[in-house]
Amino acid sequence: MLPEELLKKIMDAANKTRQPITAVIIDPFFYNSLQNKTIQSFEDLDGNTTEGLINSSKNQVEIWYKNKKIKKLKIDDLNEKLLLFPLYNATIQKVSFHLEKGFYVEQTEIGLIASFEIRTNEFNIDDLKFQLLQINELTLLEKVIYKDQVLINNKKDTLITFQNCYEII
């Protein structure tokens, strides 16, 4: 939920441009008119974010060790329901998704979604744990954990292919 004062500034600026607020929220050039150095895009606004790798035939996870690709897998390989025996250590967290009052931005990207790097002398793929998020019918790879340590994304190189903003009243 946006602070009332910021929401009023956004609405006033949107009215000046004669565009709906849902259009200006995702417009990268709009934030210059707000004249707020801390907010340069909608990603700088306070809000809840859910992101991850969608279970799709195009998406894959690659595991590299000592500059060699040791494994390439799909999210279906992590989903125990589809397998007779689990191949990898994966947990599925089911979340019921209810839309509350507010603004929502949907965005899809193509490219390198996340790159994780750890320094270790010995790598064991069995120490990797994949955390999947089940939102209604959608499955996302949300987190990768190695030896009980959540890996932090250190590189992202993507191109936005779809972006939409809508308001729930």
Same domain, 27 and 98: no
Q: Are residues 129 and 91 in the same domain?
A: yes
* Same domain, residue pair 75 and 131: yes
Q: Dihedral angle at the C-alpha atoms of 155, 92, 65, 51, nearest 10 degrees?
A: -10
Evaluate whether 14 touches 20 at the Cβ level (below 8 Å): yes
Same-domain pairing of 69 and 35 = no
Structural domains counted in the chain: 2
Same domain, yes or no: 92 and 119? yes
pLDDT of residue 165: 94
Per-residue pLDDT of the chain (169 residues; tens, 9 = 90+): 677 888 888 888 889 889 999 999 999 888 888 888 888 888 888 888 888 899 888 899 999 988 899 999 998 888 777 667 778 888 889 888 778 888 899 999 999 999 998 888 889 999 999 999 998 888 899 999 999 999 999 889 999 999 999 999 8
Alpha helices in 26-104 (DSSP H): 31-34
For residue 115, the model assigns a pLDDT of: 92
38 shares its domain with 81: no
Judge if 61 and 38 occupy the same domain: no
Q: What is the pLDDT of residue 22?
A: 92
Same domain? 59 vs 105: yes
20 shares a domain with 89: no
Query: Do 28 and 62 share a domain, yes or no?
Result: no
> What does the pLDDT read at residue 78?
84
CA distance 75 to 131: 11
C-alpha–C-alpha distance, residues 140 and 71, integer Å:
19
Rounded Cα–Cα distance for residues 146 and 71 (Å): 15
**Do 142 and 69 share a structural domain?**
yes
pLDDT of residue 70: 92
* Residue-range definition of the domain harbouring residue 26: 4-44
